Amino acid sequence: MNRNTKVLALKYRPQNFEDLIGQEVVAETITNSIKFKKIPNAYLFSGIRGVGKTTTARIVAKSLNCLNGIENLCKSTLCENCEAISNSNHIDVLEMDAASKTGVDDVRDLIEFSRYGPTSSKYKVFIIDEVHMLSKQAFNALLKTLEEPPEYLKFIFATTEIKKIPITVVSRCQRFDLSRIKSSELFEFIKNIKDKEGGNVSDDALKLIVKISEGSVRDALSLLDRGLISLEKNDQLDLIKAQKIFGYFDKSQLINLFELILGGEEKKIIETYRKIYDQGIEPKIFINDFLELLYYFKNINSLTPESTNFSLNDEEFSKIQKMSNNIDDQVLILFWQLTIRTLDELDIVSNQDLSIEMFLIRLIHLVSAKDKNKSYILEEPVDNKNVITDIKIDTVNQIKNITQEKKTKPEIKRDTEKEEKNLITSFDQLIKICTQKKEMSLKYELEKNVNLVSFEKNRIEISFNDNLDKNFVKNLSLKLFEWTDQRWIITLSKSKGKISIKEQEINNKKDIIRNAQNSEMYKTVLKKFPDAKLFDVILKKDEE
């Protein structure tokens, strides 16, 4: 293996647009703008880490100042300007890290320096990396110069967080969003680098590197560098070694674990997980990989092995495809919710390993519950409000609300009272009984913040607005049980439903006023009093 002292991320840093991978559209657009002399005052490059923002900025600076011109840009042999820019020591190309120089004084020094023309090149270029770190005052100081700079001055900004840059700055730049590098393209790139370095790395290990890097070229090269350094002479970096080095485990182990969960084999599940844990796998990495596997099980029929970002080989892909045909989608969705909740639990438990084992045991019981035609309820946030939502595994046997399960049986009362209790057959009757029982808060929520979708016997389906009280579903369930001696299912719907009663009253009031404005009496009043305005209409009791 080539033992060059320079790290791969720097050694193979692109020197021109042809070396830049995955950003062909950006490269072509910038090249054409320079050729046709339509160069913007400022470029803005955004994207995740390691996709080439700063590298592209330097290539643009070279393209603007290359002694050979845009048509014959330097490639293997660099001109004086391109060489200096590559080494970050060109007198007319200033690179500034906004993370360390965030203040308005730093920008003022920059503006002061911009008053002097270039000394040895056509353009003076300011490259500001992580530009979103500049202070508000610094951005304001930059605005005027950015909008109308001297002809010889060009700005190039790079950022990973475009939303933190004021829109007034963004609007003055030609913006380019650099995309993640495609898995297949990144795989071929690092494979080529591996060959140049003389490293013995298997394709499966390279695919694991591509997966971990998540579309970042720099991350992929750093991981490859780390893998190559770990090799002794004549050794090969295969998948097993790569998994140990990078802290990842074989997906086939996770698929086998999933198969055991569906089979309810608790002892084997714990044994399998402990083997995975003994490999040095972090619990959070395990949970995230488990979430990824759930996604593949749910959507495997719309995927290909390539679209899984090399997470699955052909054998694993085929096995998931075969297993998914026998798994209920509702079980997978329930698994997903429980896994997300476990991810939050890991931040508050001291022994994360034990939490994962209990998580796997809970999954077994969820599967067995499905076989017994049971249902479960998970409490989850909906629009920043904790709302209890029922997840039905069997459509016939509805689950009782958890809060109702805990409610003790009411005292036996007279039969006449029971007859009265079973009279809630409509939404209007529900509001009426809230008034009778002096439950004003429930009445308020029902009238103002609830949209009725459907009302059936012992079942209410509703939608709601952002103002709904977070305890509304629980309180209403308890009261309905108390008033009717029966269990009620309250379901939250994605449908809009009818408008709320308050909205209906407002609309009715508007209609009454509109009709009154069209009446002959009102028109007669306007003739005598042109400035008159109708604000309200009070109906007589017989008209109501």
pLDDT in tens, 114-127: 888 888 889 999 99
Element of type H or E holding 111: helix 104-114
Residue 404 has pLDDT above 60, yes or no: no
Chain CA centroid to CA 158, Å: 22
Tell me which fold the domain 23-177 belongs to: Rossmann fold (3.40.50)
Strand pairing report for 385-391 and 376-382: antiparallel
Encoded tokens for 535: 């604000």
Give pLDDT, residue 519. 83
Residue 536 has pLDDT above 80, yes or no: no
Map tokens 């694991």 to a residue: 208
Residue 330 has pLDDT above 80, yes or no: yes
Give pLDDT, residue 543. 53
CB 367 within 8 A of CB 264: yes
385 vs 41 pLDDT, higher one: 41
Q: Which residues contact 408 (CB under 8 A, 6 or more apart)?
A: none
Map tokens 């657009």 to a residue: 29
Give pLDDT, residue 113. 85
Residue 389 has pLDDT above 60, yes or no: no
434 vs 397 pLDDT, higher one: 434
Q: Which residues contact 154 (CB under 8 A, 6 or more apart)?
A: 39, 40, 41, 42, 43, 64, 123, 124, 125, 126
Q: What is the CA radius of gyration of the chain?
A: 33
Q: Which residues contact 433 (CB under 8 A, 6 or more apart)?
A: 424, 483
What is the rounded distance in angstroms from the CA atom of residue 254 to the CA atom of residue 458?
43
Encoded tokens for 87: 């080494």
Q: Which neighbouring-strand residues pair with 395? A: none
Tell me which fold the domain 251-372 belongs to: Zinc Finger, Delta Prime; domain 3 (1.20.272)
Q: Which of 32-41, 187-196, 367-376, 472-481 has the lowest mean pLDDT?
A: 367-376
Residue intervals of the chain classified under CATH 3.30.300 are 402-492
CB 201 within 8 A of CB 5: no
Instruction: Say whether 397 sits in a helix, a strand or coil.
Output: coil
Tens digits of residue pLDDT in 440-487: 888 888 888 888 888 888 888 888 887 888 788 888 888 888 888 888
pTM: 0.59
What is the rounded distance in angstroms from the CA atom of residue 434 to the CA atom of residue 480?
10
Residue intervals of the chain classified under CATH 3.40.50.300 are 23-177
Of 163, 105, 108, 153, the C-alpha closest to 131 is 163
Residue 399 has pLDDT above 70, yes or no: no
Of 11, 397, 391, 412, the C-alpha closest to 193 is 11
Of 164, 155, 165, the C-alpha closest to 128 is 155
Backbone angles phi, psi at 491, to 5 degrees: -110, 135
What is the rounded distance in angstroms from the CA atom of residue 76 to the CA atom of residue 401?
72
Of 54, 21, 4, 76, the C-alpha closest to 191 is 21
CB 138 within 8 A of CB 157: no
Backbone angles phi, psi at 464, to 5 degrees: -155, 165
Residue 534 has pLDDT above 80, yes or no: no
Residue intervals of the chain classified under CATH 1.10.8.60 are 183-246
105 vs 500 pLDDT, higher one: 105
Give pLDDT, residue 504. 79
Of 313, 273, 315, the C-alpha closest to 290 is 273
Residue 2 has pLDDT above 70, yes or no: no
What is the rounded distance in angstroms from the CA atom of residue 69 to the CA atom of residue 87?
20
What is the rounded distance in angstroms from the CA atom of residue 374 to the CA atom of residue 366?
9
Residue 128 has pLDDT above 90, yes or no: yes
CB 23 within 8 A of CB 51: yes
Q: Which neighbouring-strand residues pair with 452? A: 462
Give pLDDT, residue 176. 94
CB 207 within 8 A of CB 187: yes
Residue 383 has pLDDT above 80, yes or no: no
Give pLDDT, residue 477. 85
Average pLDDT over residues 138-149: 88
Backbone angles phi, psi at 356, to 5 degrees: -65, -40
Tens digits of residue pLDDT in 206-246: 988 988 888 899 999 999 999 988 888 778 888 888 888 88
CB 219 within 8 A of CB 182: no
Instruction: Say whether 339 sits in a helix, a strand or coil.
Output: helix
Map tokens 């209609």 to a residue: 511
Judge: domain 183-246, CATH 3.30.300.130.
no
DSSP assignments along 249-280, one per residue: --HHHHHHHHHHHHHT-HHHHHHHHHHHHHTT
Give pLDDT, residue 371. 54
Percent of the chain with pLDDT over 70: 86
Tens digits of residue pLDDT in 167-202: 999 999 999 999 888 888 999 999 999 999 888 899
Local confidence band at 309 (pLDDT 50, 70, 90 cut-offs): low
Q: What is the mean pLDDT of the chain?
A: 82
* CATH number belonging to domain 402-492: 3.30.300
Element of type H or E holding 197: helix 183-197
What is the rounded distance in angstroms from the CA atom of residue 141 to the CA atom of residue 192?
46
Give pLDDT, residue 385. 44
Q: Which of 44-48, 169-173, 403-407 has the lowest mean pLDDT?
A: 403-407
Average pLDDT over residues 335-362: 89
Could you tell me the CA-to-CA distances from 92 to 61, 120, 154, 346 in Å, in that order?
Answer: 10, 7, 11, 51
**3-state SS of the chain: helix, strand, coil percent to 5?**
55, 10, 35
